[in-house]
Amino acid sequence: QVHLQESGPGLAKPSETLSLTCTVSGDSISSSIFSWDWIRQPPGKGLEWIGKLYSSGTTYHNPSLKSRVTISVDTSQNQFSLKLSSVTAADTAVYYCARVPGGGEFGMDVWGQGTTVTVS
């Protein structure tokens, strides 16, 4: 049974860099049949897709976040990470990681429980 767990500081100061990690268990993050995504949800609002990590190591992030996003992988720890720079109060949200089988046609089938980040 695959399990994803987000971790990281729950509080960040404005202008700093937010760093989060998603630890994957029960599956290999290097598997070629999955990509791994970050999604966030501001308080009381909808879901916003942040970006993804392909098994090749290639990443893609939402242009709406400009160049503030860095997604990386640590295969030795079976983890992938999100860094979001120059944070503001607008980045306050619950951050989720999720597994994506195939090219996205099968949806995001496994999600972490989410971690709350407050920028203040």
State how far the Cα of 108 lies from the Cα of 100, in Å rounded to an integer. Answer: 5
42 contacts another protein (rule: CB under 8 A)? no
By CB under 8 A, tell whether 3 contacts another protein.
no
7 binds another protein (CB under 8 A): no
Alpha-carbon distances of 117 from 16, 91, 97, 106, 111, rounded to whole Å = 13, 8, 14, 29, 17
Using rule CB under 8 A, residue 93 touches another protein: no
Residue 49 engages another protein in binding (rule: CB under 8 A): yes
Residue 7 and residue 71: Cα distance in Å, rounded? Answer: 15
Nearer to another protein among residue 16 and residue 54 (C-beta):
54
Binding site for another protein (CB under 8 A): 37, 46-49, 51, 60-64, 96, 100, 103-109, 111-114
